[in-house]
Amino acid sequence: MPDTFSLVTPTDIVFGRGQIAQLSDRVTRLGKRVLIVHGRHPDRLARVFESLNAVDIVQTMSVHKEPDLQTLNAAIRQGKALGVDLVIGIGGGSVMDSAKVLAAMLSSQTELMSHLEVVGEGLPLSTQRLPLILIPTTSGTGAEATRNAVIDIPEAQRKVSLRDNQLLPDLALIDPALTDHCPRGVTLHSGLDAITQVIEPYLSSRSNLFTDMLCKEAIPKGLAALKQLMDGESEEARDAMAQVSLFGGLALANSGLGVVHGIAGPLGGLSGAPHGALCGALLPAGIAANRDSVVEAEHKARIDRVVGWIADIFEASADQALPRFREWICQSGLPGLASIGVTEEHIIAASQSAASSSSMKANPVVLPRPTIENIMRESF
């Protein structure tokens, strides 16, 4: 592990139950003509909208699924015509990713495609983005603290990233109360995504002192909180999961991810399955594959610690921790990849792309294609 590192973070992070009350004062410092990007249930955000009476909401955009190129391009054209000078994203990861793209492209004269990885030219953003505020209402992606936005390209059957440090917001405001009573399925899928995003940076070949401090606290905290939430609503557990999600965003932005996200990206593009559900279904087998493949003592020790935390939370021996974890995931409502629409054809096609995905580059060991396929089949 290196003793030197650099960090990328949002300009300002505000965390805590009730902190949404700060939004009214902070928003007026950044803009006056506001585009609000939100999820499918804006009625849950009534008090947030009420706090924005000092600005002019010139456009709202409802996001019901992971953003695709055509939808985003249409929104960019409309937003430019309305003279938007501030973007606020209030919702889950897809909402915040959409808000990031719009903040970046509303001030740009270039085409979005030219900045995309894999399918585009991957060019850096050429102009300063609009001011951006991100407010999560689920605990999963940590997108409020990451420097990329995932975009679906249906014609290519791929999900690719717009990636630039400018996508980090001016303000990330995390109020766990906005996640209270989130539906059980969403809580499970997003929670497993959050847990994956503190496990993979901890196991990453790019881990550092900063990300280790975040992840070592967040992994057992997230496992315990999600287990509690599957048993019933709890403000304490909601607060913990919101913190884990934020820590995961900060960690992955600064040390990368690994095999689970390396597979989930192309598999999601092919199957259309929800990202968090893919990560949750793949996580136990992904940890096991790395455990069986790593050779460096430090990597082995880190995986053993993760397995030990899982064993403690789910009351299993070290040998049975991962099977017990997968059993609990299935019993909680995520039986496997087949239950979310993944097929054998998707597995074969995804294995071709997963090995070269950007997330895979930080995995602690290079995994051959047969191992990657086996992870998916064991998670089926």
Tokens 């102009």 belong to: 127
C-beta of residue 76 within 8 angstroms of C-beta of residue 105? yes
Q: How far apart are CA 304 and CA 202, in angstroms?
A: 12
Please give the C-alpha separations between residue 109 and each of 77, 153, 250, 348, in angstroms, as whole numbers: 11, 21, 30, 39
Task: Report DSSP letters for 12-70, one per residue.
Answer: -EEESTTGGGGHHHHHTTT-SEEEEEE-S-GGGGHHHHHTTTTSEEEEEEE--SS-BHH
**Secondary structure letter of residue 124 according to DSSP:** P
Side-chain half-sphere CA neighbours of 278 within 13 A: 25
Q: CA separation (Å) from 32 to 24, 52, 88, 94, 136?
A: 12, 10, 12, 24, 21
Walking along the chain (380 residues) 10 residues at a time, the average pLDDT comes out as: 77 95 90 91 75 85 89 92 94 95 95 91 92 96 95 87 95 96 96 98 96 97 98 98 98 96 94 95 98 96 98 97 98 97 95 88 95 97
Per-residue confidence (pLDDT) for residue 54, from 0 to 100: 80
φ and ψ of 49, to 5 deg: -60, -35
Q: What is the pLDDT of residue 219?
A: 98
Q: Is 226 left (phi over 0), alpha (psi -120 to 50) or beta?
A: alpha
Amino acid at 202: Y
DSSP 130: P
Looking at residue 3, what is its pLDDT?
A: 66
Which residues are paired to 189 by β-bridges? none
Q: Is the distance from CB of 133 to CB of 89 less than 8 angstroms?
A: yes
Q: Is 26 exposed, middle or buried (0-12, 13-18, 19+ CB in 10 A)?
A: middle
Q: Are 171 and 30 in contact (CB under 8 A)?
A: yes
Sorted by where each starts, the structural domains of the chain and their CATH numbers stand as: 12-177 (3.40.50.1970), 183-379 (1.20.1090.10)
Strands (E), 146-263: 148-153, 158-163, 171-174
Asked if residues 353 and 328 have their Cβ atoms less than 8 Å apart, the reply is no
- The per-residue pLDDT for 50 is 78
Amino acid at 217: E
Is the Cα dihedral 86, 91, 95, 97 positive or negative? positive
Q: How far apart are CA 367 and CA 355, in angstroms?
A: 7
DSSP reduced 3-state for 87:
strand
Cα dihedral: 341, 344, 345, 347 (round 10): 90
**What's the pLDDT at 203?**
98
Q: Give the number of C-alpha atoms closer than 13 A to the C-alpha of residue 113, restricted to the C-beta side.
A: 8
